[in-house]
Amino acid sequence: MKHQLWLTLLLSTALHASPELAAYLPAEAAAKEALIQSPLLQQARARKQALGLHAQAIDAGTAEFSVRVLQQRRSLRATGERYGESSISLERPVRMWGKRGIDAELAQQTQALADIEYADAVHEASRELLRHWFAYLRASTTHANASTHLELAQATLRLASVRLKYGEISQLDAQLAQAELQRTQAAWQLSQAELSSAAAALQRRYPSLPLPNTSFKRMAQDQGGPAPLDNTTALRDAFLQTNHELNMLRIDAQRLRLHAQRVNRDRLPDPTVGLFTAREFAGAEQVTGLSVAIAFPGNARSYQGQAAMAEAQAAEDKVATLQRTLSAAFDATLAQYQHKRLAAEQLQLAAQAQTLAADKSRTAFTLGEHSMSDMLTIARVANDNRLAAELMRVDVVELLTSVRLDLHEIWDFDE
């Protein structure tokens, strides 16, 4: 009990611990509206309604009233007299041996399963939206980098043309500048194609969700670097406590255990109770009574009960297996985040140093102290380093977003 209370306090505190992500994500209200309108959640809502109706059916039971009508003729051999006779009965099986109580619990567990399935669908839909969102940010970052490099290549070609005119560089250097411009133009076209594809994938799936109105680089500059994640053991415990997939299997295991108990109770068949009335000897006699019918169980009921118990045990074992799998996956995600966060910082420093070297090389080329080939190589390396640093930063933020989403610290739309 204390452990659960501690986890609750941890989560409630952490809900206010992720403001660093707000700048990178779409507005919460817009994201929620986009998810609600998505076909995936419409399907999930229909599934939830279906399971809810199944729960009501379980609680109501399958017993039904039946009417039995009999029409017959009686003949007396001694006198040759004949009489018309008829009877009618109303019958219904009666749930006994504690079956009604188990059915009520089964109905509650089925409804709980419907709720957690819908919550899991919302969570997975949120994850899918974020995947497309960060794919767009990644494509946007690549396109922005390609645009910057294209501008530098255009400036370099203009500078080379001027210097060639005054005989300060060779025709070969001018051709190198022209080739570099053509290469960067091709890279820009490819990045534009990726950006258009990512934008289409996002907008077609979520038409109401606006695209980011600023670049990821500006977001990162305004926000600063993501902080390290401390107390990973507590985070893992909170993750396992609130994971929908795991909780869904837990509830399903409980439901299957109840189902096994219910099947075992069916080894004692329910009696069928009826009321009947009969009209005999053309109405000269009126008969009214109560009927009770009890089936003699066969071996099939016993085998079905054993099979249900085995299925319940398999479901419980599956919970333990999934818990280990999810725990390992969460630890791997945390490790990736911690290492990629440090790698992003190192790549950023390297990119800054390389950009400074490229600026100096450009100045040296202007003064005739550097060759065109060396300047273009240094500029290309600087551009690659900037792109690698920016893309690594996107990866880091996406990993942090995934962790915060799994901990229900952001976009908690499934409650």
Token digits for 155? Answer: 């400036």
User: CB within 8 A of 40, min separation 6: which ones?
Assistant: 121, 124, 125, 128
CA pair distance 358, 265, nearest whole angstrom: 80
The mean pLDDT value for 119-125 works out to: 93
Q: Is residue 179 part of a domain?
A: yes
pLDDT of residue 192: 96
Contact status, residue 413 vs residue 35, Cβ threshold 8 Å = yes
Q: Is residue 153 part of a domain?
A: yes
CA torsion through residues 21, 25, 29, 32, sign: negative
Beta bridge partners of 290: 275
Choose between 44 and 80: higher pLDDT: 44
Q: Is residue 278 part of a domain?
A: no
pLDDT of residue 18: 53
Q: How confident is the model at residue 216 (pLDDT cuts 50, 70, 90)?
A: confident
Token digits for 56? Answer: 């009501």
pLDDT of residue 193: 97
Q: Is residue 87 part of a domain?
A: no
pLDDT of residue 341: 93
Total structural domains within the chain: 1
- Is the pLDDT at 189 greater than 60, yes or no? yes
226: three-class secondary structure by DSSP: coil
* pLDDT tens readout for residues 4-14: 433 443 333 33
Q: Is residue 206 part of a domain?
A: yes
Q: Is residue 295 part of a domain?
A: no
Phi-psi region of 411 (alpha: psi -120 to 50; beta: other; left: phi over 0): left
Q: What is the pTM of this model?
A: 0.83
Q: Which of 74-88, 110-124, 376-390 has the lowest mean pLDDT?
A: 74-88
414: three-class secondary structure by DSSP: coil
pLDDT of residue 11: 39
pLDDT of residue 77: 79
CA pair distance 57, 55, nearest whole angstrom: 5
User: CB within 8 A of 168, min separation 6: which ones?
Assistant: 368
| Mean pLDDT estimate for the chain | 88
- Is the pLDDT at 324 greater than 90, yes or no? yes
- Is the pLDDT at 413 greater than 90, yes or no? no
List the domain range (segments joined by +) for residue 153.
Answer: 2-64+108-269+303-406
Q: How far apart are the first and last CA of the chain?
A: 22
Q: Is residue 352 part of a domain?
A: yes
pLDDT of residue 153: 94
Contact status, residue 325 vs residue 317, Cβ threshold 8 Å = no
* pLDDT tens readout for residues 243-276: 999 999 999 999 999 989 888 888 888 899 999 8
CA pair distance 192, 179, nearest whole angstrom: 20
pLDDT of residue 3: 41
CA pair distance 248, 315, nearest whole angstrom: 11
The mean pLDDT value for 324-332 works out to: 95
- The CATH number given to whatever domain includes residue 28 is 1.20.1600.10
Whole-number CA gyration radius for the chain: 37
CA pair distance 239, 371, nearest whole angstrom: 56
* pLDDT tens readout for residues 63-109: 889 999 988 888 887 787 888 888 999 999 988 888 888 999 999 99
pLDDT of residue 414: 67
Contact status, residue 143 vs residue 195, Cβ threshold 8 Å = yes
The mean pLDDT value for 344-364 works out to: 93
Q: Is residue 411 part of a domain?
A: no
Which range scores top for mean pLDDT: 20-34, 50-64, 320-334?
A: 320-334
Beta bridge partners of 83: 74
Dihedral (Cα; 362, 366, 367, 373), 10-degree rounding: 60
Q: Which of 134-138, 157-161, 319-323, 363-367 has the lowest mean pLDDT?
A: 363-367
